[in-house]
Amino acid sequence: MPDKPQDTPVIPYGAWPSSISSKTLTADTVRLAEPHLDNGHCYWLEQRPEEKGRCVVVRKTFASEGEANIYDVTPKAVSVRTQAHEYGGGSYTVKDDRIYFVNAKDQRVYVMPADQSSEPIVLSPEGSDQVNYRYADFFVDEVRQQLICVCEIFRTAETGQATSEPESNIISLQLDGSSVIGFNVLAFGSDFYSNPSVSPDGEKLTWLSWNHPNMPWDNSECWIADFNDLGMLHKHRKVAGGSSSDKFGRAGESVFQPQWSPTGDLLFVSDRNNWWNIYSYNTYNKYTECLVDMPAEFATPQWVFGMSTYGFLNSYTLLCTYTQNGQWHLATIDLMSHSFTTIDIPFTHIENIACQDDDDTALFIGATETSLPELIRWKKESWTSIKTSSDLIVNKNEISQPKAVTFKNKQQDDVHGFFYPPQNNKAQSPSEEKPPLIVMCHGGPTGATNASLNLKIQYWTNRGFAVFDINYSGSTGYGRDYRLRLYQQWGELDVEDLCCGAQYLVQQQWVSDKNLAIRGSSAGGYSVLASLTFKNTFTAGASLYGIGDLSALAEDTHKFESRYCDKLVGKYPEEKPLYQRRSPIHSVDQLNCPVIFLQGKEDKVVPPNQAETMVNALYKKNIPVAYVSFSGEGHGFRQAENIQHAIDVEYAFYAHVFGFTPDETLPEVPFLTKEIKA
């Protein structure tokens, strides 16, 4: 960064006046997701914090060259969101100008014309006190005039208790609405299903399945079956996946996004060579080949339905995205010659590729180090922005640029992350001072951070904090071996990496050795609490809907993640003592620094009692502890006012702990004065 003018005010780090307020994070901001192309028109999903997180299907039509019209398709009373697997995704599809979607209010499937010429019509059965349904991952089967999707079935006894885990199936709903009295089940028997897709000739169905204790990135299977004359499936055969694995998943094969090519070959992504590469399977000669064998990841962990990292521009050209060293790239693959061509574009993060066959058109969501996510239309080897996630004009001189950093952990393995120095053209600090540090822990823990613009990071750097966003061992983007490092080691190896990362920055003299904070959400919140409990590196922490008791998580969470910890920690309940040793709640006597907890009251993934038990334990030790809960929020905050309040009160907490006076009015920190009653 260039030197600042001599008359720039000298203000302590952390107290810099900022142009990035908490309202900046949500004002005129939407979350873009699930792009689709149909008949040349663009569709996408917008999650709107200013509308309490309502999700809307939006359409942009192209009447002729240079003319366009953009409007909301789904009615104002509707929010399009599925609760399948709790995390959702794959909540709608579009085919021949008709939208098929899940209404968040009743979790039923509806259809309506994209031109809004008639009201939505329900396609799926109504739930009851004894049975309820959740749907996701839709595919329109034109041959049989049905909508194929994944369905979770929840059964409840008269006592109100679930009779068992929800069943997962692939089902079909008739497009004429007759399935409101019942649907057909096409595939069943596995614990989980995703990605149902009908072949171009209409004769075959493919899908993914996996079983406990695997997560889809551990060991999954890709299947094909034929339709018989009655529209049911027969002649099942496994195409990929299902390799033998030990109980911790150190062998095995993860398969991602099976998708038919226009010519009838089946493509999929597999990590059988350590890297998630793209493969092609010929259904006639039953031959599988790797399209491009390279040390790069063409997939991400399948936390939600509907994820896509490639699509077909035409019958013989694939558009794909891949990541290397934490940065995403765009490329094409010639399906005949397998020639691989990288496309020069500015985006450092790319996701959700959607194509329209034989039209040379694609949509994807892209972001750069200085621009927020936007919906990009790729056509004829050039791109245009269709929709930005925010109308905010960001002053690039106020944006902290990430520096890719690799350091060694105690095992002398490489660990990766992005370092953001403080950046504010209107303030500087005394030359002898070093900035306070906030170490960021991404969720998952099977997930990753990237180098694209994140205003929640810039909120801190613009106030004079340094931020280290770490892809600790277990993160994705660096191969299967890197991802599986964390197995059996969660709560230990991630903690070591986070602490080593902070100590590395101190040794480089980039940050203060006294004011070191750590923050994270969900699984990242667990890493926060474990780091604060079992190590003495940090002086403050913030846990956002994080985990304090691993045993409670294993006993009280949803089906999708109910056996996740079997791989990360050990088999439960057989190894319950190990769970207790790694749970901060059972070693709270070792935690001796202030913590703030932020929690959604309707969180089904990490219930509020996780945070409240930890908060009460700290209160009994007379350690400053703050607790903020939010009504109407689940696992993650979606409402604008809650997003704003959460980050502002966290900032006020750091100001109190580190002893500086912010240059703005902040909410009062709700330090606990009495125990929380269940």
Which tens digit of pLDDT belongs to each residue from 529-583? 999 999 999 999 999 999 889 998 888 888 999 999 999 999 999 999 999 999 9
Q: How far, CA to CA in Å, does 221 sit from each of 61, 74, 243, 339, 533?
A: 38, 35, 9, 28, 39
Q: What is the average per-residue pLDDT within 646-652?
A: 97
- Of 338, 364, 391, the position where a domain reaches its end is 391
524 and 649 part of one domain: yes
Residue 153 has pLDDT above 50, yes or no: yes
408 and 387 part of one domain: no
352 and 477 part of one domain: no
Q: Does 605 reside within a domain?
A: yes
Cα separation, 457 vs 443, whole angstroms: 15
pLDDT score for 74:
97
pLDDT score for 164:
82
Q: Could you tell me the end-to-end alpha-carbon distance of the chain, in angstroms, rounded to an integer?
A: 51
385 and 408 part of one domain: no
CATH number of residue 603's parent domain: 3.40.50.1820
pLDDT score for 248:
47
Cα separation, 617 vs 587, whole angstroms: 10
- Of 391, 412, 428, the position where a domain reaches its end is 391
Q: Does 218 reside within a domain?
A: no
383 and 492 part of one domain: no
pLDDT score for 226:
98
pLDDT score for 556:
80
Q: Does 236 reside within a domain?
A: no
Above pLDDT 90, what percent of the chain?
A: 81
Q: Are 44 and 363 in contact (CB under 8 A)?
A: yes
568 and 466 part of one domain: yes
Total domains in the fold of the chain: 2
Contacts of 246 (CB under 8 A, 6+ apart): none
More confident residue, 215 or 163: 215
pLDDT score for 396:
85
536 and 633 part of one domain: yes
Residue 200 has pLDDT above 70, yes or no: yes
Three-state secondary structure of 567-595 = HHCCCCCCCHHHHHHCCHHHHHHHCCCCE
415 and 553 part of one domain: yes
Sequence length of the chain is: 678
Residue 410 has pLDDT above 50, yes or no: yes
Three-state secondary structure of 595-641 = EEEEEECCCCCCCHHHHHHHHHHHHHCCCCEEEEEECCCECECCCHH
pLDDT score for 64:
57
Q: Does 206 reside within a domain?
A: no
Q: Does 490 reside within a domain?
A: yes
Q: Does 622 reside within a domain?
A: yes
Contacts of 430 (CB under 8 A, 6+ apart): 10, 12
pLDDT score for 244:
60
Among 548, 445, 565, 457, smallest CA distance to 498 is for: 445
Range of the domain at 372: 32-72+308-391
Specify the range with the lowest mean pLDDT, choosing from 3-12, 87-96, 416-425.
Answer: 3-12
Q: What is the average per-residue pLDDT within 350-354?
A: 96
pLDDT score for 66:
53
Q: Are 297 and 476 in contact (CB under 8 A)?
A: yes
Cα separation, 563 vs 411, whole angstroms: 27
493 and 410 part of one domain: yes
411 and 535 part of one domain: yes
387 and 412 part of one domain: no
Specify the range with the lowest mean pLDDT, choosing from 255-269, 369-383, 469-483, 528-542.
Answer: 369-383
437 and 535 part of one domain: yes
Q: Does 122 reside within a domain?
A: no
Query: pLDDT tens, 253-288?
Result: 999 999 999 999 999 999 999 999 999 999 999 999
Query: pLDDT tens, 485-513?
Result: 999 999 999 999 999 999 999 999 999 99
Among 633, 623, 510, 487, smallest CA distance to 564 is for: 487
Q: What is the average per-residue pLDDT within 385-401?
A: 89
pLDDT score for 357:
66
The mean of the pLDDT values for the chain is: 93
pLDDT score for 67:
59
Q: Which two tokens stand for residue 491?
A: 């709560």
Q: Does 189 reside within a domain?
A: no
Residue 250 has pLDDT above 60, yes or no: no
pLDDT score for 482:
96
More confident residue, 28 or 216: 216
Output the pTM of the full model. 0.92
- Split at pLDDT 50, 70, 90, the class of 160 is low
Q: What is the average per-residue pLDDT within 109-137?
A: 95
